[in-house]
Structure 1
């Protein structure tokens, strides 16, 4: 079998544009994702890379894939966006996972991949923390929050009660209150409602402005990305819109990416007049009831220290930030950035101690938008 041979050392690394992947390479990529559940995220799929390369953004010109081979057989794939002397994840800053699509025991030096790419530095953002090839290059670790519903909703609900959280009971109370005061509550899965899709992003942009965050959707290709994923209807990749109406009014919407058996929560927002009902959480609860019946084993909420994520999640997936650098000015500059962040965080300055880290992340988001 292909995957039984896909272990051991890499003999060759080819650098190709997404459209240059052969049918055999694409099949090997799908096989690896199917064989290893930790690689099942839609952000790690070939379809994500091909979609990013198809829209008029920085990945159309910059997306490259390091194809790791043993002989002529593809045994690993690392998609990146090459920008001058550095590389970053394809789809930055919208990509929630970065990783090497390969068997866990595949032996490769990350610096060898960087050299093959012809860059001085590879930036790691939301990199899979369990991957040994990059472990020594991690600088910051955090958790991504995952909801495992493979055993079905009743088993999940029992597990959450045993863990001491009443989040699901709260959602049920809020749902009843919403229906009592505003009319019938209706959940729609995999909706094709164009108006709801557009309303979600109107709410999201208003939320970003109100909280003084970067409006990622000011960049034209960002909206084109959402449109492209919404139009994708493959079994293994595409966008999935979920909506919640009360009395005929749209009160919450969530947009996710889906893989073969996983959903990744991507964008969620709600009508500002209905905040007291927590409609986004009610919607998520409805999704959790629907997902296992529809063949999905998990809903990934992604990174971010939010209380609701901790309450819903029963799995934590380690992710990391950092860089893989060759001797260069670009590598020295990145090392200095992380040094400043560590020094500031060690000072007793309260919230101000995280200012350099927040500034670095904001600059990284802006770099991702402009390529």
Structure 2
């Protein structure tokens, strides 16, 4: 096994073609985060974005886009922006395969959104995570027909609030794919207002992450695009979402709504309208990303199990450090009071094993 290390901007047409061929070998690779165009969009903004191109017997067998930190430690491409981690490999290969990291001159790859099926051979991965999805392959009506009582109760509530919103504000319509800069700026302000309301720092679409998101709006490659969806009541935008689409998957990424109309559940109304239109547009899956928020569990009908952890070169300093952290953190979580026993792990993830990226 050998690997060539290049910047994302050095990917040529042949590499992109092979990358896309490998994506077709596993349905999970349909996620937009496994697209070479996502890696290239990040690489336009961050010069620390690399791609390891794995070859065996003269044949490309995989790609790993990543950021190199502290010399021989890798973080997933895009850091916290990325909801699907790992390498794009031909069938039968996994990231923990002996020789892959060594070929890429890496001692560790940290992750917190790795699909479980790609975690074979990893001893320390936490498996208590999942990414909910809505299956639209047979159409919207077929999808909701298979749902249970909780969906029917939720749908009745949405319908009641929709009628009330139309009476009190105006007719509701959804623009599924808006190219309006003004609408995007309003979306950013809506989301930052929500952050402030929750007591969080209003940093959505700021700094390098903002440059990546704005750049994704301008990617026009076949099979990959950014998508801004806006819900209007009358002439007023009441909810908006920015996501990415690739290979029949819409990744539900950054939703927002106007707090002044939250009593009408505009966020849920937007998801419902987008799901209807997505099915018409040929999108087979809406992936809501890791978590169990109410809107995710309401619309989703299947789960993609996820893991977090690290894959390491045996005997490396990175491997010993992560094993030591796991031992210490396990002890701390057993002896500390429940109210504070998560703090040590959060600190270690923030400073050492998490997926946040350093400033440029």
Same fold by TM-score greater than 0.5 = yes
SS at match of 1:199: helix
Deviation at 1:109, TM superposition (A): 4.2
CA contact (8 A) 2:112 2:355 kept: no
Please tell me whether residue 77 in structure 1 is matched to residue 63 in structure 2.
yes
Indicate the residue corresponding to 2:3 in structure 1. Answer: 13
Please tell me whether residue 333 in structure 1 is matched to residue 321 in structure 2.
yes
Indicate the residue corresponding to 1:357 in structure 2. Answer: 345
For residues 307-363 of structure 1, give each alpha carbon's deviation from its aligned partner in whole angstroms, at most 9, with x where no partner exists: 221121111001111112233444333334434443444457344332333444555
SS at match of 2:143: helix
Indicate the residue corresponding to 1:5 in structure 2. Answer: none
Deviation at 1:242, TM superposition (A): 0.6
Structure 2 unaligned blocks of 5 or more: none
Indicate the residue corresponding to 1:368 in structure 2. Answer: 357
Aligned residues: 357
Give the Cα separation in 1 of the matches to 2:32 and 2:264: 31
Deviation at 1:64, TM superposition (A): 1.7
Give the Cα separation in 2 of the matches to 1:345 and 1:285: 41
Indicate the residue corresponding to 2:330 in structure 1. Answer: 342
Indicate the residue corresponding to 1:289 in structure 2. Answer: 276
Give the Cα separation in 2 of the matches to 1:137 and 1:330: 14
SS at match of 1:35: coil
CA contact (8 A) 1:84 1:119 kept: no
Please tell me whether residue 280 in structure 1 is matched to residue 273 in structure 2.
no
Tell me which protein shows more helix as a share of its residues: 1
Please tell me whether residue 45 in structure 1 is matched to residue 35 in structure 2.
yes
Q: 1:143 aligns with which of 130, 133, 142?
A: 130
How large is the Cα RMSD of the aligned pairs? 2.4
Give the Cα separation in 2 of the matches to 1:121 and 1:30: 26
Deviation at 1:212, TM superposition (A): 3.6
| Cα distance change on mapping 1:162 and 1:319 into 2, 3 Å | same
Indicate the residue corresponding to 1:7 in structure 2. Answer: none
Structure 1 unaligned blocks of 5 or more: 1-10
The alignment's TM-score, normalised by the length of structure 1, stands at: 0.88
| Cα distance change on mapping 1:136 and 1:235 into 2, 3 Å | same
| Cα distance change on mapping 1:351 and 1:263 into 2, 3 Å | farther
For residues 262-307 of structure 1, give each alpha carbon's deviation from its aligned partner in whole angstroms, at most 9, with x where no partner exists: 1001101111101111101110000111111101000100012212
Q: 1:311 aligns with which of 285, 298, 310?
A: 298
Indicate the residue corresponding to 2:139 in structure 1. Answer: 152
| Cα distance change on mapping 1:30 and 1:244 into 2, 3 Å | same
CA contact (8 A) 2:25 2:91 kept: no
Indicate the residue corresponding to 2:240 in structure 1. Answer: 253
Deviation at 1:132, TM superposition (A): 4.4
For residues 48-90 of structure 1, give each alpha carbon's deviation from its aligned partner in whole angstroms, at most 9, with x where no partner exists: 11111112x3xx2x22222222322212111111112311001
Give the Cα separation in 2 of the matches to 1:369 and 1:94: 13
Q: Which moved more, 1:353-362 or 1:230-239?
A: 353-362
Indicate the residue corresponding to 2:307 in structure 1. Answer: 320
| Cα distance change on mapping 1:22 and 1:88 into 2, 3 Å | same
SS at match of 2:81: coil
Q: 2:166 aligns with which of 179, 184, 206?
A: 179
Q: Which moved more, 1:22-31 or 1:12-21?
A: 12-21
Deviation at 1:232, TM superposition (A): 1.4
